[in-house]
Amino acid sequence: MPASQPRSRARDRNNVLNRAEFLSLNQPLKGSQEGRSSSRKQSGQAGAAGGQGSGPKERRQSQQLPEEDCMQLNPSFKGIAFNSLLAIDICMSKRLGVCASRASSWGGARSMINLLGITGHGIPWIAGTLICLVKSSTLAGQEVLMNLLLALLLDIMIVAGLQKLAKRKGPYDITPGLLDYLTMDTYAFPAGHASRVAMLSKFFLNHLVLAIPLRVLLVLWALCVGLSRVMIGRHHITDVLSGFAFGYLQFRLVELIWMSSNTCQMLISIW
């Protein structure tokens, strides 16, 4: 055994890898090991402290954030199509808002566009219907006017409820007028003027005997009122189109719940 120890020592001395210049290849430096171990310990302590300090809600949020990022980076086809259509709607509505302010390209025609919009307000139509109802002396006329009054009241309530649910603002920051506040037409979707003129035009075309020129003028009036709401900067194009659709549905609803002549006479007598 004593003779074998000197032989092993001699072999270690003769080994080239045991020289000082080759020690770094065989063994890692002590400083790097200590630095790595200390950094691991610090990260482990920080992770433990963060785990103790953060509650379950923060852990859930940290786990959900990567999923949300992935959903935003990889949207679905429906989301891309909807956002694209929404961007086109906003861009086209802003371009058509030529009377949104006095400084706009058609700012001089703003007062005339506002006057055209007043013809689609609910308050003047309700007031005019009541005046005609008081002066009417025929049963058929009173029946039509009572159902028209019902249609106008339903239009105001339905549009106001839908606007409160959607709470969509117009393409421009336009303050609603006094008549808009009275009819609760303060948001953009759907356009109250568009739904009202669509319902009125359909109502008159069905229940009044009108010549063909008057029918054409009635339809053009409804289209011009809807376009004026986009030009004034109060509504988007989709708001007006949806208003036309809701106006037609309201007309169908009034047709379903049409009040007979006896019911109208009873309501008029109570009033």
Alpha helices in 54-138 (DSSP H): 56-73, 77-96, 110-118, 122-135
Rounded to the nearest 5 percent, the helix, strand and coil shares of the chain are 75, 0, 25
Question: Residue 207 catalytic?
Answer: no
One-character DSSP codes across 163-228? HHHH-PPPSS-PPP-HHHHHTT--SSSS-HHHHHHHHHHHHHHHHS---HHHHHHHHHHHHHHHHH
Catalytic-role residue among 121, 207, 235, 236: 235
Q: How far apart are CA 209 and CA 218, in angstroms?
A: 13
Torsion of CA 205, 208, 210, 216, to 10 degrees: -20
Query: Of 185, 164, 166, which Cα lies nearest the Cα of 176?
Result: 185
Cα 35 from chain centre:
55
190, 248 contact by CB (below 8 A): no
97, 230 contact by CB (below 8 A): yes
Question: Residue 235 catalytic?
Answer: yes
**φ, ψ (nearest 5 deg) of residue 168:** -90, 135
Cα 199 from chain centre:
24
Q: Which residues are catalytic?
A: 193, 235
